[in-house]
Each structure stands twice: as C-alpha cells, then as structure tokens.
Amino acid sequence: MSDTATHSRKDATAGAPLLEVRGLEGWYGESHVLHGIDFDVREGEVVTLLGRNGAGKTSTLLAIMGILEKRKGTVLYGGTETIGMQPRHIARLGIALCPEERGIFASLNVEENLMLPPRIQEGGLSVERIYDLFPNLKERRRSQGTKLSGGEQQMLAIARILRTGARLLLLDEPTEGLAPVIVQQIGHTIKALKAEGFTIVLVEQNFRFAASVADRHHVVDQGRVVDMIPGEDLEANIDKLHAYLGV
C-alpha cells in the first residue's frame, strides 16, 4: 500500500497543488483564531489536519469555504484565489464541506437532504452509485433527515456532497461520537472516495483513524501548521505526534 501511495504522490507532485493555503489568518469577531496556516493538497490526495481541541482545524476548513467571514492570506484552488469570495462562489469552484455538526436538515427527508446541494459541474457520483456506497440511506430515503442514527446522518452528510461534482471534500471530524464499527465503515468510504479520484482534507482528533486513511498529516497548533508528517513516516514519529496532540 505504501508503494502505491508513494507512487501516486510522485505523480501528483508533477503538477501544481489543487489547494494551496498560505499564511491564512482568520477571526471570529475580535478573536484571532488562525495565525498563518500553510499547507498544500495535491489532486487525489487525502490529507489530515490533526490537533487538539481549539487548535484551529475546523476554523481552517470554514476559512477555506469562506464561511469564516474575516480572513486574510492566500487560498488558491486550482490556481484561483478564493480569499475574497463568498461561500457560494467558492462552492461553485468545486469545494464542498461536510460540517462537524453534520448539518442534516430536520425539515427535509433523507432524499431531499441528499438532493439539496445543486450540481455544480460534471463528474459527480450518480445517485445509484451513492446508494451503492450507502445502502442504509436508500432504505431510509423517506425518513426525516434527523431521525437517522448518528452514523447514518454522517453518511448522509458525506453522501450529499458527492453528487455535486465537487472535487475537493472538506470533512470535519466525520468519526466524532460514532461507534467503532461505524468509524470503520467511514474509513472504507473515504478510501473508496479516494479511489474515485476525490481529493480530501480531513479534520480529525481520532488519530488512529486518520492514520488508516490519509497520505499526509498536518499538525495544527494555536492557529498554525507546525508540522507535516507523511503517512509512511507516521510510526516513526508517533512520540512526536503524541506530544503535539497531548495524548
């Protein structure tokens, strides 16, 4: 597995990164939460942002998506500067967010939730393929969105951004609060999505889970990326990582 990962990374290194974040700063009101985030994501990669609670991982995703209103620095997506854009325009470039709180709409049934995000470009998964990946959702497509179990809601939150043609998925703690067997399922899903060619930025606290799916890991601390650890070097760096995460 590490062979193919190295191989695909070498291939990807040839082109410019799909996402390039440089000196990204962000604020919630007066509170300065991002102090210069730097990282790259290449096409087809799965990279993580690891770090303690409050380190700035979620804020980084929100800043990339344009939801964090006050932000500066550089976020290039496919070479396009997005730092001054509205979230809806950033979404239209091909970036999609699966938020930490999942954001399933209570007044919509499962199918309505799934079909809500508009198709922005070619290349999204078909609904059949999505139901293939998440058979539970098909069974429960007439249920109210928030009547699903936590795991199913998480599946739905991921599923609905796969139809749209977005190529870069920002997944915010998809395993949070879920049973181990569901976490495993989500791990399989992320690998399947990588195989489909999606590029993924994964925010995680569950570092074992992160290790099992990602090519590279970025350690975020106090609003900065303080280290980058390639997936295959993770074992060698485990003590360092534990020190960062304080576990």
| Least Cβ distance, residue 184 to another protein (angstroms) | 27
Nearest CB to another protein, comparing residues 167 and 224: 167
* Those residues with Cβ within 8 angstroms of residue 23's Cβ, 6 or more apart along the chain or in another chain: 36, 37, 38, 72, 73, 74
Q: Does 127 bind another protein (CB under 8 A)?
A: no
95-98 and 19-28 as β-strands: parallel, antiparallel, unpaired? Answer: unpaired
Produce one character per residue of 100-132: b if its CB has 16 or more CB atoms within 10 Å, e if not.
bebebeeeebbbebbeebeebeeebbebeebbe
Which of 2, 13, 86, 149: binder of another protein (CB under 8 A)? 86
Q: Does 125 bind another protein (CB under 8 A)?
A: no
Q: Does 190 bind another protein (CB under 8 A)?
A: no
The burial class, CB within 10 Å (0-12 / 13-18 / 19+), for 4 is: exposed
Nearest CB to another protein, comparing residues 44 and 117: 117
Interatomic CA distance for residues 205 and 168, integer angstroms: 20
Q: Which of residues 44-73 bind another protein (CB under 8 A)?
A: 65-67
Nearest CB to another protein, comparing residues 163 and 216: 163
Nearest CB to another protein, comparing residues 9 and 92: 92
**What is the arrangement of strands in the sheet containing 216-221, beginning at the earlier edge strand?**
95-98, 168-172, 199-204, 46-50, 216-221, 224-230
Nearest CB to another protein, comparing residues 5 and 110: 110
| Least Cβ distance, residue 87 to another protein (angstroms) | 4
Q: Which of residues 160-189 bind another protein (CB under 8 A)?
A: 161, 164
Q: Does 27 bind another protein (CB under 8 A)?
A: no
Residue ranges binding another protein (CB under 8 A) = 65-67, 86-92, 96-97, 99, 103, 105-108, 112, 115-118, 120, 161, 164
